[in-house]
Structure 1
Amino acid sequence: MKPLPSLDVLKTFAVVAQRLNFTRAADVLNITQGAVSRQISGLEAHLGYALFVRQPRGLALTPNGAMLLAPLQQALAQITEALERSGAQSGTLRVKCPTCAMRWILPRVIRLQNERPELVIEVTAAVSHGVEFNAEQFDAAIVFGQPTSKGVSLKGVSSHHLFDEVLTPVCAPGLWKTGQVGAATPDDLADQTLLHPTRDRRDWLRWLEAYGYKGLPSAKAQHFDTLDLAISSAMQGLGVTIGDLSLIEEDLRAQRIITPFSLCVPSGASYYLIYPERPAASPVLQEFAEWLKGEAAVTRANLLAYMSA
């Protein structure tokens, strides 16, 4: 009898079978598209038959692949449920979080654990904003956008709105003249390096459009893959970036960063806490969810006060 394939490879197959696209599966699994392709090719070689038909616009399951998928999904669900039960017994809570939101959640989780040392909360940062609870060993996740916009189905998932994304330029205090803070215009950015949290520059362009300004005021630019990297660079005085007021709440309070402009623009996206619906939810998860919703309510109130000032 052949040895069983590794659990990671089987999880990769299940995610690819749901997405029928190597690139989208790679985003969910937080690995490269090449790694996904190699794992599937290796699994097919191990089994001795094809699982997918490669097509110009994606993939299709072969009859053998379709026959394997349903029992495999059931087995993965049973393994996930067993891991959740064991995690609940130990009091450990595993939370997936996009890197941009780590600036908000991590200080709060550390404070909570200092107050409640019996709670063990493991927060894992990921560039991808989605989660597959059947394929990833997390009890809960913070997602950005809408719960359904990153491949997360609402079926069987509890979702709680935390706060909205509100954009405005931010920079280190020493980068801006004191008299300009709060009264600047986009023309004042002409000599600044613009730090872009995305390659398509959409956050800067959205804010400038709301200001009534066409194009970018400065040709000097640096691009980053995450909002957190752009904000960290801005805090070092390397330029001006677009920041989310909700995420930089503590940085503003500590005066590590300033907002030179009065205009704040809601992007239409939000942060959500999601977790699988279970017949008997973990008491630790329930407590964490209620605590996090309370922290988010404070952030929303502070944001409203800041924008009204």
Structure 2
Amino acid sequence: MAHPMKRLPPLPALHTFLITAQCCNFTRAAELLHITQGAVSRQIAGLEAHLGYPLFLRQARGLALTDQGREFYPRIQQVFALIDEAVEEVGARRKALQLKAPTCAMRWLLPRLMKWQALRPDVPVELTTTIAYGVDFRREEFDAAMIYAQAPGHGVVARHLFDERLTPVCTRQVLEGPLPLDTPADLERHVLLHPARDKHDWENWLRAAGHNPGPLSGGHHFDTLDLALSVASQGTGIALGDWSLIGDELDKGHLVAPFDLRVPTGGAYYLVYPERREPDPKLRELLDWLWREAHVDKID
């Protein structure tokens, strides 16, 4: 014959016992629990009635634990310690790391974060993208950021990922189309996609390639390099791509690079976090992993 399951004591009463056993004083326990002394006394009496044995000796000089109370106390301590540990561990697992990155880095960063989540589903990451290249940890609540800059700046711990090196990119259809793309001078006969109105990046690349361009007329202007690359991948023209960011698209054949020359701009990508605080171990693990990905993938 199955025995009915014994009803467990109520958790609030067990917590009241734990606090009272720590100080052996109803008045002090009431202060710590923010309830009345009478409520403490009633909860302890109810718990003793439930258990069937006394937990405290009520003496003129105060409270003392009975033999059963002394045996019960460390076990209840352990129970509440396990509850605290469970709350902390589950809460830590559910809290996503907050990461910020510029949209121009998405081609490289997003596939790797998806790979990270497959490897470590217990360490979720929430990514915020922006056209801004930097981060201000004094005003922005991020755990870390991937930034683009000449130098990482002050007040941060930085890990260098890769330098920006630009090279023309287009679709294979454009490369094999009716207009030749054999020399840098041929580029001026194509639609050039500019990531800024000043056309500075294209002029620098052409000069580095040994071609001194006249005023670059025509073409299309965009607010970011990322938008220019998106249009180039549709076969609309030729954009400058950052060699370190477009490896996946080159590997898949979405884009091709007609020339071997990659011109450094002086800018670079960094992983940064606030200098003022030690990073969470899970954040450090993610940043270390991204850094290794950047250096494994690095193409000379």
TM tier relative to shorter chain: 0.5 to 0.7
Corresponding residue number in structure 2 for 1:160: 159
Contact 2:273–2:279 (CA under 8 A) maintained in structure 1:
no
Give the distance between the partners of 1:229 and 1:283, measured in 2 at CA: 35
How far residue 214 of structure 1 moved from its aligned partner, in angstroms, is: 1.8
Match status 1:176 vs 2:180: no
8 Å CA contact 1:142–1:271 kept in 2: the answer is yes
Q: Secondary structure at the match of 1:275?
A: strand
SS at match of 2:297: helix
How far off is 1:217 after superposition? Answer: 7.9
* Corresponding residue for residue 251 of structure 2: 253
Aligned-partner Cα distance in 2 for 1:232–1:218: 21
C-alpha separation in 1, matches of 2:202 and 2:244: 17
Q: Distance in 1 between matches of 2:214 and 2:107?
A: 27
- Deviation string 1:183-208 (CA, Å, 9 cap, x unpaired) is 72122223311000112111101101
Tell me, what secondary structure is at the counterpart of 2:289?
helix
Equivalent of 2:150 in 146, 150, 155 = 146
Aligned-residue identity in percent:
45
C-alpha spacing 1:103/1:195, structure 2 compared with 1 (3 Å):
same
Return the match for 2:111 from 93, 107, 124. Answer: 107
Structure 2 residues without counterparts, runs of 5 or longer: 1-89
How far, CA to CA, are the matches of 1:209 and 1:280 in structure 2?
Answer: 45
Q: Is the CA contact 1:163–1:299 (under 8 Å) kept in the aligned structure 2?
A: no
Q: Aligned with 1:184: secondary structure?
A: coil
Deviation at 1:164, TM superposition (A): 0.8
What SS class does the counterpart of residue 102 from structure 1 fall into?
Answer: helix
Q: Secondary structure at the match of 1:159?
A: strand
Structure 1 alignment gaps of length 5 or more: 1-85, 305-309
Show structure 1 runs of 4+ deviating over 3 A. Answer: 86-91, 178-181
Contact 1:180 1:260 in 2 (8 A): no
**For residue 208 of structure 1, what is the aligned residue in structure 2?**
206
Instruction: Kindly indicate whether residue 134 of structure 2 is the aligned counterpart of residue 130 of structure 1.
Output: yes
Written as runs of structure 1 = structure 2, the 5 A alignment for 1:230-245 is: 230-245=228-243
Kindly indicate whether the alpha-carbon contact (under 8 Å) linking 2:179 and 2:189 is maintained by their aligned counterparts in 1: no
Instruction: State the shift of 1:279 in Å.
Output: 4.7
Q: Which amino acid aligns with 2:116?
A: L
With the length of structure 2 as denominator, give the TM-score of the two structures: 0.65
* Bigger Rg, structure 1 or 2: 2
Cα separation, 1, equivalents of 2:137 and 2:259: 40
The offset of 1:296, in angstroms, is: 0.9
Structure 2 vs 1, CA of residues 281 and 262 (structure 1 numbering), >3 Å: closer, same or farther?
A: closer
Give RMSD over aligned pairs. Answer: 2.3
Closer/same/farther in 2, CA of residues 87 and 204 from structure 1, 3 Å limit: farther
